[in-house]
Structure 1
Amino acid sequence: MVKLKTKNIMLMCSKLHCKLGCLSLLLGFLVFFVSCTNNFNDINKPAGKLSIEELQRDNYAVGSFLIQMQGVAFPEQENAYQTMIDFVGNYLGRYTTYTKELSKNHTLFNASNNWCAWPASYAPKVVSAFNEIKRLSGDQSAAYALALILRSQSFLRFTDIYGPFPLGLDDNDPNVYTPQPDIYKMLIADLNRAIAIIKTDNMIGEEKKIFAPYDMVYRGDFDKWIMFANSLKLRMAIRISSVAPQLAQQLGEKAVRDGVIEDNIDNCTVNYLKSGLWVTSVSWGDSRICADLESYMTGYKDPRLASYFKPTALRGNRMYIGCRAGAPVSSNVLAKRLYSAANVTETTPGVWLTASEMAFCRAEGALRGWNMGGGTAKDFYEQGVRLSFEQWDVEGASEYLADSLSTEADYVDNLGGFGGDFGKMSEITIKWKESATMQEKLERIITQKWIALFPNGQEAWDDLRRTGYPHVFPIPQNTDDYNLLTPNRIPFDRNERINNRENYLKAIEYLGGGDNYGTPMWWQY
C-alpha cells in the first residue's frame, strides 16, 4: 500500500520544502525534492530571495519546472510511481499484482475513490509547470518545445486511464473536460509544434548546454527528444489504428519517415534516486510478478526470465513463480516469500519507451499495410525480439525466434499460494508463420511486444484493452459482475459529481457510457 496517505502527502511535502529557503540549492537536492507530490509551484518561486531576472539568468526557474514535468511524465518517485503506474498499468497490464490483503482495488473493479482520484491529482503539476515555462521562456524556445513533449507524454497517460480529461487549457474554466479524440489530435499537434521549434531554434546549441543538467532523460540532446516525439506519434498511431485508420496510417508513416527510436542507446529511460519499481516490489514488497507474464515466459523458456524476476524465497516446482492477478491474498508476509519480486535494484533506470517497442509497432503497421520503412511484419517482429534481448543483455534471440513449438505454460501455483492453478490461455507460438491468419499474426506480435514492454505497464494495459492480446487468466474472485478480464478504464474521482458537476456530466456524454470500469476507450471501438 502507499506509505503516505493522500491527505498527508501535501502536508509532509510542504513541511519538507519550507526548509529549503531558495532555489540556489545544489541540483542533486533539487531533483529529489521536486519529485515529492504537491505544491511545487509555490515551493519553487523566489519568495523574495531571487528576482525573476536572476532566475531566468541562471535558468533555475525554467529548469526546475522542467524537472517537475519530468516527475509526472516519467514517475519514479515512489508514491507517484505506485499510484499512477503500479496500481493502474502494472496491475491491469498483468505485469505485477498486489501482495497485500486488499478487498478493494482496480484489479477487482472496485477500488476506493482515493485510488481512482490519484492519477488525475498529478495533472495540475503538469499544467502549472508548463504555464510557468511558457511565461519565463516564451513559446519559441527549446525549453518550451521540451515542455510540449513532456506534457504530451503525461496527458497521453491521463486520457488513456480515464478517457475524457480536464487539461486545464480553458482560461475561463480549467476544469472543462476534453473528449479523447480531441486530446489525441491536440497531442499530435503539440508534438509537431515541438519538433518544428527545435529544428528552427537558432539558440539550440547553447540551450542544450543550459538545460542539460535539468534533462533527466537525454541530458540536453534535443535530437533524441525529436526521436522520442516521433516515437510517441507512432505509439498513438497504432493505438487509434482501428478507430481512425486513415489518420493513424498518415501519422504512423510520417513518424517513421521523420525518425523513431531504432537503437537501444536512444531508449527513453530515467535514472532516479530510487527506482519506483524497486521501492514498490522489492523494498516495500507490495507487489510481485503476475502469473500471466511468468506463465508465458516459462512456457517459452524465455532467457529473459532471470533478468525480469527474482527467484522465490519459498521455492516450489520452479525458480520463478508469479501470483494470479486478483488472488485473495490473506498474508502479505507469506505472499512475498511465495512469489517472485521484480529483479531491480535501487539504481535500475525506469524504462518508458524503447527501440523494441517501436519495432513491434512497425510490425503491426506493416501488417496493416502501412509503409514502415521498407521492412515486412516478420522483419520488424524479429527485430523487436532481438532488440529486447539486447536491451536486457541476454543471449539466445535467434534460437528463441526459431522455436515453433513452445507455448504459454499451464499455471501451477506455489504450494500454499493464493490464486490456484489454471490452464494456459493461449496456444500462440514464437516463430513467425507467414501463412497464419491476420489475427494469429497480430496475437503473435502483441504477445511478444507485451513481454518486451516490461516494465512499462501502462503500454501493456493499453495493448491488452485494444487488441485482447495476450490472452490472460480470469480473476479468481468476484469482480462486481464485470464480464471483463481487465478494466477498460478507471472511473473519475467521485467528488467531481459535486464539485465539478456540469463538466462531469458533459464528460459522461463524451464517454458514451457509464462512469465505470466497463466503458471502453474511444480507440477500443
Structure 2
Amino acid sequence: MKTILSNISGMFLIGAACLLGAGSMTSCTDGFEDANRPGNKIDNEQLNRDNFASGSFLVQLQNQTFPEQENAYQMNFDLIGNYLGRYLTYANHGWNSSNFVCFNAPNGWAGYPFKDMRPKVVSAFNEIAKLTNGEGINYAWALILRAHAYQYFTDVYGAFPIGKGDDAQAYSSQKEVYEAIINDLNKAISIIQPMVSADPDLTVNAAYDNCYQGKFAKWLKFANSLKLRVAIRMRFVEPALAKQYGEEAVAAGVMTSNDDNLCITYTPNGLYKTSVEWGDSRACADIDTYMNGYNDPRIEKYFKPTATSAEGARKVIGCLAGAAIGNKSVADGLYSAVNIANNAKGVWMTASEMAFCRAEGVLAGWNGMGGTAEELYNQGVRLSFDQWGAAGVDSYLADDTSIQADYVDADGGYGKSMGHVSDITIKWDNDATAEKKLERIMTQKWIAMFPNGQEAWSEIRRTGYPKVFDVAQNIGSALKVANRIPYPNEESINNPNNYNNALQMNGGADNYETKMWWQKK
C-alpha cells in the first residue's frame, strides 16, 4: 500500500520537525551510480544526487511517520489511535486504572509522541533539508513524510510546536499547522509532478524506500491522497478551502486502485507484536457488533476466533472499551486477537479510504469527484473487499436490513451486554437525509480503514460516526471518545509561555475534552 510526501511552509523548516518517518528507500537502477561518479571519486554533490548521504535520514523519517517497530507502534499509535478509534481495546489488567480510553493515561504515555517521535522527525527532516539545499526529489519526499507526521501530531494534541521565527519551541495553532501541511504537500507535488510526467516509471532510492520501492508515481498519488484526507478533515471548519484542496487533489490524481495503497515493510509487524505476541490488545466491542451485525465477511480477515467461540456462530468477540480487565491471560482467551502475521505489511492509506472521501466530497458539493456519492460509496466497499480478499461484496451492498448487533459480552467476560446504538443499514439510499447518507459513508469508511486507528479516531471525532458505545467504567466524563491528548507535564514547566499560548490557541484546558479546531459539525 502507498504513502505521500509533502512540503511544509518555511516556518516548518526553521525549527520544526519532520512529519513522517517509517520505511526505506531504494537506490537507482543498476549502473546509475558509477555513470555519475567520474573516476569513482565521490564528492558531496554526488552523494546527495545518488542519495547515499540522505538515505538513512529518509529511512528514519519513514520509520517515524509510519511507526511499525513494536515500542514506537504501541506508544505512538496503538494505545492512542487504535483504542480511541474503537478497533481495539486493552486486555492488559495493569492498565485498568490509567489509560487513554478512560481519560487518565500516565504522563509518560501522553508525552511519548511529543518527546520521542517529534525529535526524531525534526532531526531527520532538518538533515535532509541541509543535504539537499531544500530542493530535488529527496527533499520533496521528506516534505511528504513531514506532512504526514505533522498531521498526526496536530490531530493528537491540537496546537503544536513547529517553530516560529527563532523559537523552535513556539506553538502554531492547528489551523496554522494544517496550512503548513498543505504548503508542504503543494511544494512536494510541484517538484515530483514534472519528473513523473516526463518519466511515469521514475524509480529513485529503491533501497531506502520500504513503501513504494522508489516508484515516485506512487508517492505522487500518496501526496495527492494525503491532501484529500486533509481537505475532508477541514470540511466543516473551512468549507471553501476544503473544497478547493479536495478538488485540486482529485484532479491531480489520488489513489484509485489497491496497487496504490501505502503499506510499509517492517518485520516484525507492530500490530502482530502488540495483539498477537504480547496479547496487550483485543478486538473492541464496537467493531465486533457492526461487523457481526452486518454479517461482514471481512471480520475473520481482521480478527481471529476466540478459544471459546471457535465452534460457535459468533467467532469474533470484542471487549467493551474501558472494561475493567481482571486477568490478562483470561481476557486473551475470551476476546479476539488481530488476525495478522509477523511479516505482514503495515497499512497506512488505501484507495478505499479515498473513494469514501470522494463520496463525502459529492455530499459536500465538491466538483470532479469521479462519480456520484452512491457510485463512490459502493466503490469504497468493493475496494476494501478486494484488498482483504473477501467474497460476497454484491450481496453485502444489496443488504438493506442488517444493522449493528446488540453487544453480548463473552461468558465470564469483564464488561456487560449493551443494546446497539446505530440502526444504519448497508445498502445506499438516495432518498435518505444528508445526515443518514453521511452516517452510512462514515460507518463503512471506518470498517474499511482498519487497522488505521488514528484515522478512525479522527473521523469519529469529526463526524460523530460511527456511533459507539459508552466507556465501560464510570470515569466521570460525558465523552465517549477523547477529543485530544494532553501535552506532557514538562511543557508547562520548561516551556511555560509557549505552553500557555497553545492552550489559548486550543480554546480550552489541557485535557481530553477540549476539541480539535476541525470539530465543528
Does the TM-score normalized on the shorter chain lie above 0.5?
Answer: yes
Q: Which residue matches 2:436?
A: 440
**Which digits, 9 at most, give the CA deviation of each residue in 1:34-56, with x for residues without a partner?**
xxxxxxxxxxxxxxxx9967854
State the SS of the aligned residue for 1:106: coil
Q: Which residue matches 1:324?
A: 320
Partner residue of 1:452 out of 442, 448, 452: 448
State the SS of the aligned residue for 2:282: strand
* Mapped partners of 1:486, 1:509: distance in 2: 22
Counterparts in 2 of 1:372-383, with a 5 A limit? 372-383=368-379
Counterparts in 2 of 1:401-416, with a 5 A limit? 401-416=397-412
**Which digits, 9 at most, give the CA deviation of each residue in 1:121-153, with x for residues without a partner?**
211111111111111122221000000000000
* Mapped partners of 2:434, 2:49: distance in 1: 57
* Mapped partners of 1:204, 1:362: distance in 2: 28
Q: Which residue matches 1:423?
A: 419
1:266–1:137: structure 2 CA closer, same or farther, 3 Å change rule?
same
- Deviation of 1:219 after TM superposition, in Å, equals 1.1
2:400–2:425 CA contact under 8 A, matched in 1: yes
* Mapped partners of 1:144, 1:264: distance in 2: 27
- Deviation of 1:199 after TM superposition, in Å, equals 2.7
Q: Which residue matches 2:120?
A: 125
Q: Which residue matches 2:511?
A: 516
2:461–2:519 CA contact under 8 A, matched in 1: yes
2:196–2:202 CA contact under 8 A, matched in 1: no
1:139 and 2:139 equivalent? Answer: no
Partner residue of 2:461 out of 462, 465, 469: 465
**Which digits, 9 at most, give the CA deviation of each residue in 1:88-118, with x for residues without a partner?**
1100000000001121000000011001101
State the SS of the aligned residue for 1:133: helix
* Mapped partners of 2:425, 2:174: distance in 1: 35
State the SS of the aligned residue for 1:352: strand
Q: Which residue matches 1:313?
A: 307
Q: Which residue matches 1:46?
A: none
**Which digits, 9 at most, give the CA deviation of each residue in 1:182-233, with x for residues without a partner?**
1111110110100111134599979955511101111111111111011011
Partner residue of 1:356 out of 352, 358, 381: 352
Q: Which residue matches 2:181?
A: 187
Q: Which residue matches 1:36?
A: none
1:372–1:422: structure 2 CA closer, same or farther, 3 Å change rule?
farther
What letter corresponds to residue 180 of structure 1 in structure 2?
Q
1:307–1:173: structure 2 CA closer, same or farther, 3 Å change rule?
same
* Mapped partners of 1:205, 1:262: distance in 2: 20
What letter corresponds to residue 434 of structure 2 in structure 1?
M
* Mapped partners of 1:57, 1:222: distance in 2: 16
- Deviation of 1:503 after TM superposition, in Å, equals 0.5
Q: Which residue matches 1:370?
A: 366
* Mapped partners of 2:160, 2:265: distance in 1: 29
**Which digits, 9 at most, give the CA deviation of each residue in 1:145-196, with x for residues without a partner?**
00000000000000000000012x4462211101000111111011010011
Q: Which residue matches 2:110?
A: 116
- Deviation of 1:58 after TM superposition, in Å, equals 5.7
1:229 and 2:219 equivalent? Answer: no
1:234–1:252 CA contact under 8 A, matched in 2: yes
* Mapped partners of 2:173, 2:201: distance in 1: 35
* Mapped partners of 2:224, 2:203: distance in 1: 23
Counterparts in 2 of 1:280-299, with a 5 A limit? 280-299=274-293
1:516–1:209: structure 2 CA closer, same or farther, 3 Å change rule?
same
1:413–1:420 CA contact under 8 A, matched in 2: yes
1:84 and 2:81 equivalent? Answer: no
1:142–1:204 CA contact under 8 A, matched in 2: no
Counterparts in 2 of 1:13-162, with a 5 A limit? 56=48, 59-101=51-93, 102=95, 103-121=97-115, 122-162=117-157
1:489–1:521 CA contact under 8 A, matched in 2: yes
State the SS of the aligned residue for 1:269: strand
What letter corresponds to residue 238 of structure 1 in structure 2?
I
- Deviation of 1:482 after TM superposition, in Å, equals 1.7
Q: Please tell me the root mean square deviation across aligned C-alpha atoms, in Å.
A: 2.0
**Which digits, 9 at most, give the CA deviation of each residue in 1:484-506, with x for residues without a partner?**
10000000111101000010000
The normalised TM-score by structure 1 is 0.88
What letter corresponds to residue 108 of structure 1 in structure 2?
C
Q: Which residue matches 2:255?
A: 261
* Mapped partners of 2:63, 2:379: distance in 1: 31
State the SS of the aligned residue for 1:231: helix
Q: Which residue matches 2:487?
A: 492
**Which digits, 9 at most, give the CA deviation of each residue in 1:286-312, with x for residues without a partner?**
000111001100000001011000010
The normalised TM-score by structure 2 is 0.88
State the SS of the aligned residue for 1:236: helix
For structure 1, which runs of at least 5 residues remain unmatched after alignment?
Answer: 1-29, 33-49
State the SS of the aligned residue for 1:351: strand
* Mapped partners of 2:466, 2:369: distance in 1: 26
- Deviation of 1:59 after TM superposition, in Å, equals 3.0
Q: Which residue matches 1:504?
A: 499
1:206–1:57: structure 2 CA closer, same or farther, 3 Å change rule?
farther
What letter corresponds to residue 86 of structure 1 in structure 2?
D
Quick one: percent identity of the two aligned structures?
Answer: 54
For structure 2, which runs of at least 5 residues remain unmatched after alignment?
Answer: 1-22, 26-41
2:210–2:265 CA contact under 8 A, matched in 1: yes
1:365–1:372 CA contact under 8 A, matched in 2: no
* Mapped partners of 2:271, 2:362: distance in 1: 33
**Which digits, 9 at most, give the CA deviation of each residue in 1:229-263, with x for residues without a partner?**
11011101111101100000011011101100000
